[in-house]
């Protein structure tokens, strides 16, 4: 049986035609007979755009939350109202406790309201590498000391009454086995796309990585840091990169300069066939 996938960007920062855009990400994935939703943006825009594209969110078999930030979880309540059966897989480290350090003070950037508490029966926590269906993997971080990255990015977790540097224990990758190789989805890649690709290789060492899809969180990085990241991705044999959202226009241009036509930039409604 052929292992191919089709991914449709329901939401990205960049609008396209009559499809809206917002600072957020939501991707609808068709893989075999499964229909999977990765993230749901910052609002119900994923649903509105999906309707324009003829995509029925009520048919989704399961959803995966890449990490516990508002711009990927803001539509969760809408998803649960429209789809009455699909579970939402979240990392065991995910909670409504994500903050960022801003010039004006500490700002909440996490899951909206009481959405996890109100929908407890629909939430499935992933504690280790997990396969929700054949050929699909949900892979949380396994690298220690990632709170250093959180500190560099001014990202925090609230633990009791204290704020600590984010170790991204709430972030996870969604990985597919295809005829061309592994396809990694990681919506913001806070841990670093190079580190994430390396983690996936450790879990699935006998399979090559074909494509990396997601935001790369490079919009505040230097040109040297961007080029270093690209070099590592190339060294891992990755053939295609599809990116946008938090990557940043400058970083996208550098990545395209380094990898040419094998890099494609997100917009709402974009379709990826692998």
- Give the tens place of pLDDT for each residue, 38-50: 999 999 999 999 9
Give the whole-angstrom CA distance, residue 200 versus residue 182: 9
- Give the tens place of pLDDT for each residue, 169-208: 999 999 999 999 999 999 999 999 999 999 999 999 999 9
Locate all alpha helices (DSSP H) within 153-271, ordered by sequence: 193-203, 223-235, 249-259
Q: Cα torsion at 128, 63, 21, 19 (round to 10°)?
A: 150
- Give the tens place of pLDDT for each residue, 94-151: 999 999 999 999 999 999 989 999 999 999 999 999 999 999 999 999 999 999 999 9
Max CA pair span of the chain: 55
């Amino acid at each position: 049986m052929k292992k191919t996938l089709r991914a449709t960007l329901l939401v990205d920062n960049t609008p396209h035609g009559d499809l809206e855009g917002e600072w957020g990400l939501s991707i609808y994935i068709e893989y075999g007979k499964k229909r999977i939703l990765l993230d749901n943006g910052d609002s119900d825009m994923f649903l509105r755009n999906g309707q324009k594209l003829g995509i029925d969110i009520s048919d989704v078999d399961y959803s995966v939350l890449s990490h516990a930030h508002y711009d990927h979880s803001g539509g969760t309540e809408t998803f649960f109202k429209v789809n009455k059966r699909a579970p939402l897989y979240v990392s065991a480290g995910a909670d409504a406790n994500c903050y960022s350090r801003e010039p004006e003070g500490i700002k909440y950037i996490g899951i909206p309201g009481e959405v996890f508490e109100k929908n407890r029966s629909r939430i499935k926590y992933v504690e280790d590498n997990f396969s929700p269906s054949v050929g699909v993997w949900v892979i949380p971080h396994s690298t220690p000391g990632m709170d250093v990255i959180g500190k560099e990015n001014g990202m925090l977790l609230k633990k009791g009454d204290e704020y600590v540097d984010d170790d991204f224990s709430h972030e996870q990758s969604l990985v597919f086995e295809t005829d061309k190789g592994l396809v990694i989805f990681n919506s913001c890649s806070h841990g670093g796309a190079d580190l994430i690709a390396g983690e996936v290789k450790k879990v699935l060492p006998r399979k090559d990585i074909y494509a990396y899809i997601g935001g790369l969180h490079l919009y505040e990085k230097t040109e040297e840091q961007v080029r270093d990241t690209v070099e590592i991705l190339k060294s891992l044999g990755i053939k295609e990169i599809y990116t946008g959202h938090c990557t940043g226009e400058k970083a996208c241009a550098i990545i395209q300069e380094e990898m040419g036509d094998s890099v494609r930039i997100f917009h709402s409604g974009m379709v990826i066939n692998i």
